[in-house]
Structure 1
Amino acid sequence: MKNIFLALLLILICSFKNIASTNAEKIVGKWMALEDNNLEVEVYKTGNEYRAKIVWFDDSDDKSRPMAERCDTKNPDKKLCTGKIIGLQVMQGLVYNADDDEWHGGQIYDASSGKQWNAKAWLTTDGCLKVRGYWHLEFMGQNICFKKVQ
């Protein structure tokens, strides 16, 4: 009887761990910014952290400079200013917290300003991925909402 109880307990613990892992993976994939539909990022997992890179952006503001040729010219690290915007890692360090079903502890990079911010992310009930960029204090920040495209 004791062995059956222990086996059931072990199965239950493993099930909860798998559920938490599944929830954590929900942000993996390609996401389109909702505000202007002008930015698509791909969120992926590396080790225990989640990162995102730019896979597409609207370059209609200056047709003489196509998307594939644009570089990270605003980067404060001059060695990185020649790096392409496409493929640029813009989010890193997010770690899933099952207790509040959110991703915390990350940084987000804004290539248009060259600034890096603290970041957290969560999924809304309608499937929107909200990413909040802030400077030290969460209430002093901005959200951007993404819809999954794949």
Structure 2
Amino acid sequence: MKNDEIILGNESLFVESDFNVCPHCGNLNLEDVVSNLNSTYKYCNDCGYAMENALKNKCFDFILKEIQNVFKSYNNNNVLSSIKIEVVKNNNALNLLVNNILIGSTNFLYEFKNLDTYLFESNISYLIEDYFGVENIKSDIIVC
């Protein structure tokens, strides 16, 4: 994988964003939600099918894009020997902290599930490997 590739986005999080007719009510009135990673998530405007997942994934993409931006800035310095990444749900926000510094925050009104934790940890690990190499950096990833 190359540093400029986005390994995140709609392929990795929820497959139900890939439909043209609502599988729940059969209507065609679908709404697109486009994230800052240019991923498109769909939900039914009539019955709300997949709306929470679409909006949730948009929040996740925001955090993952912020992580990628941080890594790009560190990659130029090449002096980083360890990194601590925390993705923390606080009240109605999802916060990103890198080395104990708040990097970004987005409104997040949804439940954070075990699958979400697993996917975040996996995607962050892949980004670390891409930007720094596993043997070159000690990483501590906390998602809660």
TM-score under structure 2 length normalisation: 0.31
Which structure has the higher relative contact order (CA within 8 Å, separation 6+)? 2
* Higher gyration radius (CA): 1
Normalized per residue, which structure has more strand? 1
Normalized per residue, which structure has more helix? 2
TM-score under structure 1 length normalisation: 0.30
